Each structure stands twice: as structure tokens, then as C-alpha cells.
Amino acid sequence: MTPTSEYPFRAETGGHAARRFHAEYGSPLPTMDLAARNTAAKVHRGAEVQALSYPPPAWSGVDPSSAEGLSTLLALLYGGNRIEWSRGGVGLGRSVPSGGGAYPGEVYVATEFGLCHYLPGAHALELLRPDDLRSDLAGCLSLAPESPPELLLLFTSRHDSNLARYGGFGHRLQALDTGVVAGQSSALLDAAGLRPRVHGIFDEDRLGKYLGLDQTAETVRAVVTAGPAILPGATTSVITRTPRRHTPRSGFAVAEIDRAQVLSILGEVAGTVEADFTSGADLRCVAGRVSGLGVGCHRFDGASGELTPGLAGVTPRELFAAGSFGELAGFEAACALLVVGDYEHGYATHGDRWYRLLNVSAGLLGLRISLAATGAGLAAGLRCDFIVAQADRIIGDEHPNRDPNRDRDRDRDRDRDRDRDRDRDQTVLLTVLIGHERAVPAPAYSLLPIEDGR
């Protein structure tokens, strides 16, 4: 498979390049080269390495004034938290998922004691510069914090990290991965009593120079700043009380879940994440085994907190290719929660950059869904291997059996038609399967002595 160099887009074309790229690489699932290897983790040769304690201290917050004060944050953000045994051998389980296990992203930290790069395998920080660059880095953001941030987390992608296996589709996975890590960091910082803000609009060239990046190979994809919370101690969200996801490593049990559990997850996710861009993403639920909810696709209304029936009779397995691992997982899962977005929504404002921003937002929402599911006592699996055309057909037919009596109400007709017009441009960006994990879990050993809320 030949890697593509057409993305990231360096010249602004008003979204035209992004449209062409997505049509060729970002929508159709690629023919994966499973023999291809992902690139090795990045190491800065000659940099001073500060080892962090492992296992780190129990989760009690964040102290940005010292490297050790960031140990638990970094372990839960991007580090290894378990050893797993499978037919493929023994592997290290990471705190967040990544498409194909590639982990194309790198995490950089800017604090008062310097600019550092995180080494997940060694659980250590590489000191790149001993200077306090927080104000300089914040000055590269389009929407700088009102006060100097206590901490900046900068997330990059190495462009060719997974292209040998996935081709151009790998760039979309990189954006989703960035969103997942940004969502995890936001939840952790919020839980620590800080005020996180996700930044997707910034001067990439300036940030890259500060980090010493070869920007033909690696660029900054998102920045999360953290400052004092507006209302200290007021956080009560399940997401911020649940620092670890619960992944169904053994698959899902074929069992029902309650409608109330689905609504609680969606209600938690609907809470806003402070960011310098608005994605306008929607949420859907494709219910298979949800008591009190009919089999089919349902639209979630964040304002009312209710689910509105759409296309009836469809189940999560129909999102995936016949005979695939995704179809099996979809059959076992109780429901699938879909993150739905509109590419055309943002090209006029953000140009080609919108392709990345929308997928970053999808990854962020997917991570929040998985944390909320853990808080509800369920397992969650993020999947990108759905068939876009099949998924879009499911969400596109929102009113398959229109009641003719509603035609008498012009206001309702107008609202309905507006929704249907919007749905024509909407597409499924990410699926999250929800359900109970099988009673007999896959062999694993937890490395972090941190309660995960289960």
C-alpha cells in the first residue's frame, strides 16, 4: 500500500482539498495490510530523561509544579495500565484506544519547569527545553486563555505512523485518536479541579518550531490548556469521577441494558467541553437489546434529553461488513451510539482544517461516551470499521413512517423538512458499541492501583 502525502493540507483551499481527500481515502474502508508494522515510538536522543514513579500514586489530582506531580495524569492519559494475554501473545494495554493499536500521537507537556515529551513505554519525561514557555505557546492559540495556563498539553501526529497499514485512511484515524486523547485529558484535568479548554485552531508552524518538529513528518493537532477552575470543587460528572474506561476485551455478553442507562450516558456526554471551535456533532442510538427502547435508530435531543424514533428494525450489526469482526461485536452489543457530523458545516469557516477539527471532535465525544458508559456500569468499544454508506442510510431515514395527520401542522412540517435537509449532509464519524462484558474476562493484570468506578 502506498502512503499518501496529500494530507495534512499545507495550502488553504477553502475545503476543496479536504473534500477530494475524504472521498478517496477518508470514507471507504481501506484494504488493510496486516503485515505492515506501525512506526516505533519517538525518542529524542540526547535529551535529559526524568523517570516517573511507576506505579504512580493513587489518583488525587495534578501538581504542574513538578514532574512527579504529573505522573498519575500522564499514566492515565497515555500510559500503559495493564498487561494483556491473548492468542497473539502478551501486550501492554494503554489508557486510551487507538485505531489498529498504532498510537500515532505524541504528548508534549509545557509547565513552569520546562517543555517535555512523554515516553509512554518508559513512563518518563524527556526534557526538551528547561524554559517556561507557557505564555509563548499560549500566544500561538487563536483563543488564548484569559489568564496564563498552569499547564499545556500538546498533541501531535506522526504523519506516516499508520499509513503503511491503512493508506490515506490512516490520517482520519490520526485525527480521531487526537480527539480521544484530548477528551481523556479534559476529563482528567476537570476531575483534578482545573479548567480545561481544547484548542484546534492555532499557528501550527510556530508551535512546531517551539517543539523542534520536522513538520513534514509530525505536526501539532490539538492543544489542551488548564487553568484554575471557575467553581473549585463543583465537579460532579460521572465522566470526571471515572478516570478509566472499561473496554470489553472478551467481547460483549448477549444481554439487555436499560433505556435509563442509555439516556444517562447520552446526558453525560451532552455536557459541553470548552473548545475554540464548535463541531455541531449529533448523537444517535441504534438499539438492539435495550429494554424500553424499540429496535432501530433513535436521534438524541440534547435539549429535552429524549430519544426520538427514526428508522425502525435496524440493529448495530448492520453498521458493519457481513462476516467481519465488527459485525460480530455489533451482534453481541446491546446498542451502538453514533457520533454524527456534517463536513459541509465547517468548510466555509475553517477551510481544509475543518476535516481535522470534525474528526477530533468525534474522537473526543467517543471517549466521553466510553467514560460515561463505565460510570453506568457498562463496557464500551470504539470502532471505526463500520461501512459509511450503510451507517449513513440508517441515520438518513429519520422519518420512515410519517403520520399524515402531521401534515396539517405547517410548523411541524417545516421543522421536519429542515431536519431532513440537514441529515442529507450528515455522516457517521464514529461508532461506540455499548453493553455488558462477558462474564469470563480475557486474562489481564492491572498495573495501576486506581479504582475505575466498576
Residue 418: the pLDDT is 47
The residue assigned the cell 499557528 is 203
Residue 57: the pLDDT is 85
- Report how far residue 221's alpha carbon sits from residue 185's, in angstroms, rounded to the nearest whole number: 14
The candidate with the shortest Cα–Cα distance to 427, out of 120, 25, 27, 5, is: 27
Residue 405: the pLDDT is 41
Number of Cα atoms under 13 Å in the Cβ half of residue 266:
27
Residue 230: the pLDDT is 63
Residue 454: the pLDDT is 32
- Report how far residue 311's alpha carbon sits from residue 296's, in angstroms, rounded to the nearest whole number: 6
Residue type, 176: L
- Report how far residue 438's alpha carbon sits from residue 379's, in angstroms, rounded to the nearest whole number: 10
**Predicted model pTM:** 0.91
The candidate with the shortest Cα–Cα distance to 343, out of 329, 353, 331, is: 353
Residue 406: the pLDDT is 40
Q: How far does Cα 386 stand from its chain's mean position?
A: 16
pLDDT by position in tens, the chain (length 454): 445 557 878 777 889 999 999 999 999 998 888 788 878 889 999 999 999 999 888 888 899 999 999 999 999 999 988 888 876 778 888 899 999 889 999 999 999 999 999 999 999 999 999 999 999 999 999 998 888 899 999 999 999 999 989 999 999 999 999 999 999 999 999 989 899 999 999 999 999 999 999 999 999 999 999 998 765 555 567 777 777 788 888 899 999 999 999 999 999 987 778 999 999 999 999 999 999 999 999 999 988 999 999 999 999 999 999 999 999 999 999 999 999 999 998 999 999 999 999 999 999 999 999 999 999 999 999 999 999 999 999 998 654 433 434 433 444 454 444 444 445 689 999 999 999 999 887 788 888 765 543 3
State residue 328 phi and psi, 5-degree precision.
-60, -45
Question: Tens of pLDDT along 102-152?
Answer: 999 999 999 999 999 999 999 999 999 999 999 999 999 999 888 889 999
Q: What nine digits make up the cell of 136?
A: 509563548
For CA atoms 359, 361, 367, 369, give the dihedral sign.
negative
Question: Tens of pLDDT along 156-183?
Answer: 999 999 998 999 999 999 999 999 999 9
**DSSP per-residue codes, 143-179:** S--SS--SEEEEEEEETTTTHHHHTTHHHHHHHHHHH
Residue 449, classified by CB atoms within 10 Å of its CB into exposed (0-12), middle (13-18) or buried (19+), is exposed
